[in-house]
Structure 1
Amino acid sequence: MKSVALYSLMLRTGAEHLTKWRPERISVDIARQCIRRGRRSNATVNVYETTDREGTALHVAYVHYGPELYDGADFVTDIYEMPTAALTAL
């Protein structure tokens, strides 16, 4: 089964530059758990259907956590890039 690419971004309070982590590969199950956790913690969660450059169907989930959830950060955003085939194979 194809994995999910997770991209994480954070802006620390008082910092001028955005902190970015390298894309991390996680399983579809872990991605679903993290997205559900975002919904339960009142983060802004948006899911979009799109395709990549080769025409492969993708779901992109955007989870934006505000400053109330992380000390010392103005926001934390996680972006999950999930192949649609991996979602429907479950």
Structure 2
Amino acid sequence: MRPVTFHSLVRYTDSNSTAHWRPERMTVDTARRHIRRGRHCAATVHVYETTDRGGSSFHVAYVHFGPGRWDNADFVTDIYEIPTEALTEL
């Protein structure tokens, strides 16, 4: 089961627009590893708990890598949508 939806945004150097990719699905374990990696790389990491329009609870993890991480990008932002039930399942 791949309950996490992952979005990635990039602003390339000398560009006025932000590139984004089609959302990808991944496992909770993979998402946790990526979020931890962001914390170790001194990225800005925020986790919010919210609900969708249907009332289902989920977490949004926002990982923002600033300039200097990549040569050709001003920033990279990764967004993870994680259903709360996926975090609490055994």
Q: What is the count of residue pairs matched by the alignment? A: 90
Q: Give ranges in structure 2 of 5+ residues lacking alignment.
A: none
Aligned to 2:13: 13
Structure 1 Cα separation of the partners of residues 31 and 2 of structure 2: 12
- Residue 13 of structure 1 contacts residue 74 of structure 1 at CA under 8 Å; is this kept in 2? yes
Deviation at 1:2, TM superposition (A): 5.1
Do structure 1's residue 22 and structure 2's residue 22 form an aligned pair?
A: yes
Question: Would you identify which runs of 4 or more consecutive aligned residues in structure 1 move more than 2 Å?
Answer: none
Q: What's the % identity of the aligned pairs?
A: 60
Do structure 1's residue 77 and structure 2's residue 88 form an aligned pair?
A: no
Structure 1 Cα separation of the partners of residues 48 and 20 of structure 2: 22
- Residue 43 of structure 1 contacts residue 65 of structure 1 at CA under 8 Å; is this kept in 2? yes
- Residue 2 of structure 1 contacts residue 86 of structure 1 at CA under 8 Å; is this kept in 2? no
Structure 1 Cα separation of the partners of residues 17 and 61 of structure 2: 23
- TM-score, normalising length from structure 2? 0.96
Structure 1 Cα separation of the partners of residues 40 and 12 of structure 2: 23
Q: Give ranges in structure 1 of 5+ residues lacking alignment.
A: none
SS in 1 for 2:35: helix
Deviation at 1:20, TM superposition (A): 0.6
Aligned to 1:58: 58
- Residue 46 of structure 1 contacts residue 63 of structure 1 at CA under 8 Å; is this kept in 2? yes
CA RMSD across the alignment:
0.9
Deviation at 1:75, TM superposition (A): 0.2
Deviation at 1:67, TM superposition (A): 1.2
